[in-house]
Structure 1
Amino acid sequence: MKLTTFFLFLFFINTGFSQDYDITSKLYGTYEKYKEEKLDKRRIKHHEIQPLIAKHAANPLFTVTKVGESIEGRDLKLISIGTGDTNVFLWSQMHGDEPTATQAIFDIFIFLASNGFKSEKQEILSNLTLHFLPMLNPDGAERYQRRNLLGVDINRDALRLQSPESKTLKRVRDSLEADFGFNLHDQSTYYNAERTEKPATISYLAPAFNYEKDINETRANAMKIIVFMNNIIQKYAPGQVGRYNDDFEPRAFGDNIQKWGTSTILIESGGYSNDVEKQEIRKLNYVSILSAIYTIAEENYKEIPIDEYSKIPENDRKLFDLKITNATYHLLDKAYKLDIGINRLEVDKKENTDFWYSSRILELGDLSTYYGYKTLDATDYTIKKGKVYPNELHNMDDINQINAIDLLKQGYTYLRVARLPLEKLESPIPMNIIGSTYKVPELQLQIGINPTFLLEKNGKPEYAVINGFLLDLNTGEGVFNNAMIYR
């Protein structure tokens, strides 16, 4: 950036934007007052948000309109508020398993209906009309899956428009002739900000509208809003912002909505340490989206230099849930040094309202260019297969008598249980459970296997990795959710 441009940017940050950053701090500090408490888990369903929509429909500030139906006949509703000439359109959960921003939208509704922030809300609602389509793919949400019931990725259906959900999104955008659009998604928690160990908690994109990636006024305005939002997120999650590659995708809605004249901001909610249900990321969505809406109302964004956009680190995908480095592994009587990258993969339970973990080794070898939410330097530690506890338990209730940490210290990682109920999917203690006739295979580290082993020093187990969860056997510390059951 030229020096004059840099000082211009600082000038607007320190003067014109001071009011916007004041509201950001207030929004963050008062968030719990406006949080929609009925939505506290990611796997939300269409029927759960209907009473919330009905509650706001009873408020004369809001207008609720049925704008379409999903393939299975679930209503798609547009919630609008404000009287301004500038139309801002926000749509969420185009992919059914990406609900973080959906929750934030309902937080925003409570904020807009409240008595607080009167002057700021007056500025927003007199200058803008806000339109929210909070769950575009309810059939996918019902199954907690990316695609709709047709098996189509709605975000690749902007040209063919085969899905009714796609037709609805296009029709609403066109009818509003929206000036700004917020395309709200979730991304994998394994994205990191390029060449850093920090997760890409929030990632942005001002989509290209042609193969040449030209920048017209429409796209430039989206870039300016993203620069503004990036500065907000840096305050609460420093270094944890990424930027998507902007190669033009002619089938994608974001690229086409940009092409059709709406300044389009893609927001992707990624990972944040110890935030499995993404509630802190939900809060960051709430704060940054409302702040962006406020700066659109104030029109302060217009003077932001777009040079800052390209300085946001690109998204990379080099994060593991657990990274173990420099571990000694014996194979065919030879010792090798290995790094191990482990991810804990979610498996949905019946009704898709909850999940359990089935972990996998994703990578082996030199992982010096990769990172972990948790990293253990296993220098001087040797990987060992765990043993099966010799005393078979009668049923699952007998597990309550087991001290798992004590058994892990003795080298046992498996418990044999005679009667395993079919409905039981996962082990509640940090030991894998096996049936009466199950034979535990030899430990041979390979991509795709379940990571269960011990880390020994001087012949003594000091760490256990059970279904990808790391436990310190000296202190008993470690994050644990579930182990495996093998019948």
Structure 2
Amino acid sequence: MDSKKQYAQFFEKQLLGRYITLNHIKPILDILPSFCKISVVGHSVLDKEIISIQLGHGVKKVLIWSQMHGNETTTTKAIFDFLGFLSHKTTSKEVVNKFLGTYTLTILPILNPDGAEAYTRNNAKDVDLNRDAQDQTEPESVVLSSVFKAFSPDLCLNMHDQRTIYGLESGLPATISYLAPSADKDRTITSARKEAMEIIASLFLNASSEVKNQIGRYDDGFNKNCVGDTFQMAGVPTILFEAGHYENDYQREITRKHICFALLDLFKINSNAGNPSIDIYNAIPENKKNYKDVLIKNVKLPKENSFQTIAVQFVENLLDNKIVFTPTIDAIGSLTDVYGHLEVDANGSEVLINSHDKITIGQKVLHIIDKNNPNTTFFSIDSFS
């Protein structure tokens, strides 16, 4: 079975969109194959279960956690796609048995179930769990640390989402970004960090042409309060995964596919061509905050002779168990070094926003139209889901 070509067969269709909670994954946990052991390893601030999935019996132990930030759900979907591959009837038993005999995995699919339920980055006490690695003030942080110590992994995968603001120098969006976190303020390349770099280099080399030029690398500034830095300090190779934006993929269904493919590559289920090295890792372009969701260019502003760009950014809100995108004016200016996932040229027109000519930062946007030709719409929320 060519796992990438057969993705549609093991895609977990019960998990769709941006809102993923315990209630969404529990029915899937009930039907995972017998080689997956499900257990409760702790509870959140609001006493929600923190679930562990363990599988395999190999000597290489890998710890994976997702939704440390509750509103970052793409990698959770990808993890269940990966488990779907292992349990699908068309997947070769030889492939599955080799994987299970090589690796032992412990997966915490939703580390922050309270944040997942509320669709917030932080936990129920408004603490960022990825800044709590040292103090461990939160029960979720204690759970992760306890699992880490008890399991004693050989590799850690720290799975996250990144905002649509991230892109590359090339002008392409950063659909996937990686980082081998530093283990000290000098950014020393320890043996653990070197291994993490080489694995990321391998993932980059094996990425499909569809996404390869849209892979970025995070800045490696050291912060001991971050979990990845702490685990790297402990001598365990740790890799940060960041799922980002792909063209017209605000539900992140295309990105999840590529994260799943990265897992298949990491576990050598797909071909592992190339010669990964630190040089290849360092050649991966660094992320930049150079994107907005929408740019309306060459707008004639009232009482000004120059043409400006209006930048619109989507704010995500939870409404009736669905994520609603609210377009908001984020910036006004020349914005010459900024790209838009949607770019529209107003050709020097004055514009009306929501039928008014007042334009202010933070203003919610329903539509942007040509002031002198109301039949010309430059942007409408109705065009986005």
Question: What is aligned with 1:448?
Answer: 362
For the 8 Å contact 1:385–1:443, the answer to whether it is kept is yes
Question: What is aligned with 1:335?
Answer: 305
**Residues of 1 paired with 2:384 and 2:69: CA distance?**
29
Give the 5 Å matches for 1:75-224: 75-115=49-89, 116-193=91-168, 195-224=169-198
For the 8 Å contact 2:20–2:73, the answer to whether it is kept is yes
Change in CA separation of 1:236 and 1:27 when aligned onto 2, cut-off 3 Å: farther
For the 8 Å contact 2:205–2:276, the answer to whether it is kept is no
SS at match of 2:31: helix
**Residues of 2 paired with 1:461 and 1:181: CA distance?**
54
SS at match of 2:306: strand
Question: What is aligned with 1:407?
Answer: none
Question: What is aligned with 2:293?
Answer: 321
- The alpha-carbon deviation at position 121 of structure 1 amounts to 2.5
**Residues of 2 paired with 1:108 and 1:308: CA distance?**
26
**Residues of 1 paired with 2:180 and 2:338: CA distance?**
27
Q: How big is each residue's C-alpha offset from its partner over 1:216-241, in whole Å with a ceiling of 9 and x where there is no partner?
A: 21111111111111223352214211
Question: What is aligned with 2:376?
Answer: 463
CA RMSD in angstroms comes to 2.2
- The alpha-carbon deviation at position 290 of structure 1 amounts to 1.7
Amino acid corresponding to residue 152 of structure 1 in structure 2: V
Give the paired residue count: 383
- The alpha-carbon deviation at position 36 of structure 1 amounts to 1.4
For the 8 Å contact 2:69–2:122, the answer to whether it is kept is yes
Question: What is aligned with 1:371?
Answer: 339
Question: What is aligned with 1:10?
Answer: none
Q: How big is each residue's C-alpha offset from its partner over 1:102-125, in whole Å with a ceiling of 9 and x where there is no partner?
A: 111111222222341333323322
SS at match of 1:218: helix
Q: How big is each residue's C-alpha offset from its partner over 1:387-423, in whole Å with a ceiling of 9 and x where there is no partner?
A: xxxxxxxxxxxxxxxxxxxxxxxxxx65xxxxxxxxx
- The alpha-carbon deviation at position 444 of structure 1 amounts to 3.0
**Residues of 2 paired with 1:178 and 1:372: CA distance?**
40
**Residues of 2 paired with 1:39 and 1:145: CA distance?**
18
Amino acid corresponding to residue 28 of structure 1 in structure 2: K
Amino acid corresponding to residue 181 of structure 1 in structure 2: C
Task: Select 1:261's aligned residue among 212, 216, 235.
Answer: 235
Structure 2: state its 5+ residue gaps.
Answer: none
Task: Select 2:9's aligned residue among 25, 33, 36.
Answer: 33
- Which has the larger share of helix? 1
For the 8 Å contact 1:147–1:153, the answer to whether it is kept is yes
Amino acid corresponding to residue 347 of structure 1 in structure 2: N
Question: What is aligned with 2:314?
Answer: 344
For the 8 Å contact 1:320–1:373, the answer to whether it is kept is yes
Matched, 1:479 2:383: yes
Q: How big is each residue's C-alpha offset from its partner over 1:19-66, in whole Å with a ceiling of 9 and x where there is no partner?
A: xxxx8xx2221111111121112212212212221222xx33122222
Amino acid corresponding to residue 449 of structure 1 in structure 2: Q
**Residues of 2 paired with 1:147 and 1:120: CA distance?**
38
Deviates further, 268-277 or 357-366: 357-366
- The alpha-carbon deviation at position 303 of structure 1 amounts to 5.5
Question: What is aligned with 2:201?
Answer: 227
Amino acid corresponding to residue 171 of structure 1 in structure 2: S
**Residues of 1 paired with 2:100 and 2:345: CA distance?**
54
Task: Select 1:74's aligned residue among 48, 53, 57.
Answer: 48
SS at match of 2:300: strand
- The alpha-carbon deviation at position 461 of structure 1 amounts to 4.0
- The alpha-carbon deviation at position 267 of structure 1 amounts to 0.3
For the 8 Å contact 1:248–1:255, the answer to whether it is kept is yes
Amino acid corresponding to residue 122 of structure 2 in structure 1: R
SS at match of 2:317: strand
**Residues of 2 paired with 1:302 and 1:287: CA distance?**
16
Task: Select 1:361's aligned residue among 304, 329, 345.
Answer: 329
- The alpha-carbon deviation at position 163 of structure 1 amounts to 1.0
For the 8 Å contact 1:91–1:132, the answer to whether it is kept is yes
Amino acid corresponding to residue 189 of structure 1 in structure 2: T
Q: How big is each residue's C-alpha offset from its partner over 1:201-220, in whole Å with a ceiling of 9 and x where there is no partner?
A: 11100000110101121111
For the 8 Å contact 1:241–1:312, the answer to whether it is kept is yes
Question: What is aligned with 1:18?
Answer: none
Deviates further, 446-455 or 254-263: 446-455
Identity %: 32
Q: How big is each residue's C-alpha offset from its partner over 1:227-266, in whole Å with a ceiling of 9 and x where there is no partner?
A: 1112233522142111111001011111011111221110
Amino acid corresponding to residue 30 of structure 2 in structure 1: A
- The alpha-carbon deviation at position 465 of structure 1 amounts to 4.0
SS at match of 1:294: coil
- The alpha-carbon deviation at position 385 of structure 1 amounts to 3.2
Change in CA separation of 1:234 and 1:110 when aligned onto 2, cut-off 3 Å: closer
**Residues of 2 paired with 1:454 and 1:206: CA distance?**
45
Q: How big is each residue's C-alpha offset from its partner over 1:313-340, in whole Å with a ceiling of 9 and x where there is no partner?
A: 1111111111122222231xx5331122
Change in CA separation of 1:384 and 1:290 when aligned onto 2, cut-off 3 Å: closer
Amino acid corresponding to residue 343 of structure 1 in structure 2: Q
For the 8 Å contact 1:94–1:137, the answer to whether it is kept is yes
Deviates further, 322-331 or 308-317: 322-331
SS at match of 2:30: helix
